[in-house]
Amino acid sequence: MKRKTLVFILLFCLVILGGCHGRAAIEDLAVVFGFGYDIDKIASPQPEYISVIEFISIQSEEEPGSDFYVGKGNTLYQSIENYKVKQGKPFGYGSELIYLISEDRAKFGIDDIILDLFRSFNVNIHASVAVVKGSCEEYFNLKSKTESASELLSNLIQYASDEYFYSSNNTVNDLIFKHFQQGRQICLPYIEIINEIPELSGIAVFNEDKMIKKLDIEETKLINILSTTGSKGIVSIESNDAHDYLEIEAKSKRKVKVTKADNKLNYDIQIKVVGTLVMDTLLQEELDKEQVSKIEKILAADLQKDLEQEIIKVQKIHKQDLLDVSKYAIAKYGADSKLDSTTNFINSQITVDVKVKIESIGRIYGNTKTK
């Protein structure tokens, strides 16, 4: 009985003393939904840091509305201090949906951004992160009838794993891990505004904390297949006739095996693509099991050829571990092995084996499942 009484008293104290007492009501806060990092590199006498913050102001008798402020300063926190004096309410952090980094800021370096995200207790580590073409202000100025700019951009990143085989691991937490873990490479989704609509147009590639290049969407698809697992997209074969092509809507799975011989690493990447046949104007034959197997082999051979060419390009031109395989060498041979170096990756032997499985041939043939 005494034990139950003690537990009750402790719970009562936690609720009363550790609750919301002493904190501002939500109506008295500007709830932060999005944050942008930018820089003016031509400012004099030194580059000017720029922070952009989107927030929702909640009034008791009005519909919540979003707005954004821009802060400028000689350091990151001076720019934050600058936008804070423009708002009559305290900012409420922890509900952020998106963190944007302008391309100029990404090329300048994001080490301080990562350290700030890592140190802060108020950051939503599940918020999405992306690099944008142009200024962050342009993106928070986007208008939508149904959602804030932060919601619009966050949804764009979150649902990207359903197209072009984008990874779903594009959060603050993932960025921090990639920065501090051995054998990891920072690659972030790249967004640009095309015809007044924001869209994913590739990935931003980093060397340590600096962006070094942007890859277009078609190359990004191949990199994504080679480097991620559980993502989705379209796999196609096109003929010389624009009317004739094969396509499957698929989900990819990746396995990586690493071995070492004569101080040279060997990576074996196994890709399995499973999906539904959504278009066949190329063969146009009645699809029995034999024909389905033929399509699977055609798709696998074509995709493997593309992936093999991409691996060569990554090692000889990009010279960065965009395939996210060095972490397997570190896991197997130890953190002190120094096998995560760029030189080891470039000189490694990388093979890829692709298998395609068509689970369904669509409703036209009675939605028959292939065995």
The CATH number assigned to the domain holding 296 equals 3.30.300.210
What is the reported pLDDT for 19?
Answer: 46
Residues 67 and 138 in one domain: yes
Tell me how many degrees the CA angle 170-148-60 measures, rounded to the nearest 5: 125
Residue where the block lists tokens 């952009």 = 52
Residues 134 and 264 in one domain: no
Could you tell me if residue 16 is inside a domain? no
What is the reported pLDDT for 189?
Answer: 97
Among 192, 215, 238, the domain boundary falls at 215
Listed in sequence order, the DSSP H helices in 63-191 are 76-84, 103-108, 111-119, 136-140, 149-158, 172-180
Could you tell me if residue 9 is inside a domain? no
Return the axis-axis angle of helices 289-313 and 217-227, rounded to nearest 10°: 100
Residues 343 and 244 in one domain: yes
Residues 298 and 279 in one domain: yes
Average pLDDT, the chain: 86
Tell me how many degrees the CA angle 117-214-108 measures, rounded to the nearest 5: 50
What is the reported pLDDT for 113?
Answer: 97
3-class DSSP state of 259: strand
Residue 45 has pLDDT above 70, yes or no: yes
Euclidean distance between CA atoms 232 and 255, whole angstroms = 16
Residues 132 and 237 in one domain: no
CA distances to 137, 183, 328, 341 from 335, rounded to whole Å, are 41, 9, 11, 11
What is the separation of C-alpha 51 from the centre of its chain, rounded to a whole number of angstroms?
21
Among 215, 237, 268, the domain boundary falls at 215
Predicted confidence band of residue 25 (pLDDT cuts 50, 70, 90): low
Could you tell me if residue 18 is inside a domain? no
Residues 206 and 231 in one domain: no
Residue bearing the bigger pLDDT, 115 or 144: 115
Residue 371 has pLDDT above 90, yes or no: no
Could you tell me if residue 288 is inside a domain? yes
Residues 156 and 231 in one domain: no
In the sheet that holds 349-360, the strands lie side by side as 232-238, 245-261, 264-280, 349-360
Residue where the block lists tokens 């002493």 = 22
Residues 45 and 175 in one domain: yes
Lowest mean pLDDT among 25-29, 32-36, 153-157, 341-345: 25-29
pLDDT digits (tens, 9 = 90+) for 289-338: 888 898 899 999 999 999 999 999 999 999 999 999 999 999 999 988 88
Among 125, 98, 323, 100, CA closest to 205: 323
3-class DSSP state of 178: helix
Residues 182 and 242 in one domain: no
Listed in sequence order, the DSSP H helices in 18-86 are 76-84
Could you tell me if residue 3 is inside a domain? no
Q: What is the radius of gyration, based on Cα positions, of the chain? A: 25
Among 57, 119, 59, CA closest to 69: 57
How many structural domains compose the chain?
2
What is the reported pLDDT for 2?
Answer: 46
Residue 48 has pLDDT above 60, yes or no: yes
Q: Which domain holds residue 233?
A: 218-361
Structure tokens at 193: 């505004």
Q: According to the 3-state scheme, what is the secondary structure of 314-329?
A: HHHHHCCCCCCCHHHH
Residues 100 and 143 in one domain: yes
Residue 343's CB: how many other CB atoms inside 10 A?
10
What is the reported pLDDT for 340?
Answer: 81
pLDDT digits (tens, 9 = 90+) for 101-115: 999 999 999 999 999
Residue 14 has pLDDT above 80, yes or no: no
Euclidean distance between CA atoms 26 and 286, whole angstroms = 62
Asked if residue 175 lies in contact with residue 116, where contact means CB atoms within 8 angstroms, the answer is no
Q: Phi and psi for 15 in degrees, rounded to 5?
A: -70, -45
Provide the sign of the torsion angle of the four alpha carbons 78, 79, 85, 90, taken in this order.
negative
Among 184, 215, 246, the domain boundary falls at 215
Residue 123 has pLDDT above 50, yes or no: yes
Could you tell me if residue 349 is inside a domain? yes
Residues 211 and 223 in one domain: no
Provide the sign of the torsion angle of the four alpha carbons 66, 72, 75, 81, taken in this order.
negative
Could you tell me if residue 282 is inside a domain? yes
Residues 237 and 332 in one domain: yes
Asked if residue 54 lies in contact with residue 46, where contact means CB atoms within 8 angstroms, the answer is no
Could you tell me if residue 132 is inside a domain? yes
